[in-house]
Chain A
Amino acid sequence: MRAVPIPEAMLEPAFDPAGAARDAIGAGLRAEKGLNVRHGTILTLEGINVSFDGFKALTDLNLYIGVGELRCIIGPNGAGKTTMMDVITGKTRPDSGMAYFGETLDLTHMSEVQIAQSGIGRKFQKPTVFEALSVFENLELAQKTNKSVWASLRAKMTGEQRDRIDEVLTTIRLETARQRPAGLLSHGQKQFLEIGMLLMQDPQLLLLDEPVAGMTDAETEFTAQLFKSLARKHSLMVVEHDMGFVGSIADHVTVLHQGSVLAEGSLNEVQADERVIEVYLGR
Chain B
Amino acid sequence: MTMPLNQTVLARTSARLGPRVSIALGGLILLILIAMPLLHMLPADNSLHLSAYTLTLVGKILCYAVVALALDLVWGYAGLLSLGHGLFFALGGYAMGMYLMRETAGDGLPAFMSFLAWNELPWYWYGTSNFLWAMCLVVLAPGLLALVFGFFAFRSRIKGVYFSIMTQALTFAGMLLFFRNETGFGGNNGFTDFKRILGFDITAPATRAALFLATVALLVGSLLLGWKLARSKFGRVLTALRDAENRLMFCGYDPRGYKLFIWVLSAVLCGLAGALYVPQVGIINPSEMSPTNSIEAAVWVALGGRGTLIGPILGAGMVNGMKSWFTVAFPEYWLFALGALFILVTLYLPKGVVGLLKRGEKS
Contacts and interface: CB of A to CB of B under 8 A. Distances in A.
A and B part of one assembly: yes
Given A132-B239, A149-B261, A155-B232, A122 B250 contact: yes
Contacts of A21: 155
Contacts of B258: 26, 149, 152
Contacts of A147: 251-254
A148 B257 contact: yes
Contact of A20 (B155, B229, B233): B155
A64 B249 CA distance: 25
B231 to A, nearest CB: 11
Contacts, number: 94
Contacts of B261: 26, 149
Interface residues of A, number: 34
A26 B254 contact: yes
B71 interface: no
Contacts of B246: 124, 128
- The B interface is mostly helix, strand or loop, or mixed, namely helix
Interface in A142-185: 142, 147-149, 152-155
Interface residues of B, number: 28
Contacts of A117: 252
A276 to B, nearest CB: 31
B243 A25 contact: no
Contact of A25 (B232, B248, B252, B257): B257
Interface string A168-210: 0000000000000000000000000000010001000000000
Interface stretch (A75-83, A133-141, A235-243, A252-260): A133-141
Interface in B222-275: 229, 232-234, 236-237, 239-240, 242-244, 246-254, 256-258, 260-261
19 contacts: A23-B254, A25-B151, A25-B154, A26-B261, A112-B250, A116-B250, A124-B246, A128-B246, A130-B247, A133-B236, A140-B236, A141-B237, A141-B240, A142-B251, A147-B253, A149-B257, A149-B261, A152-B233, A197-B247
Interface of A: 20-21, 23, 25-28, 89, 112-113, 116-117, 121-122, 124, 128-133, 137, 140-142, 147-149, 152-155, 197, 201
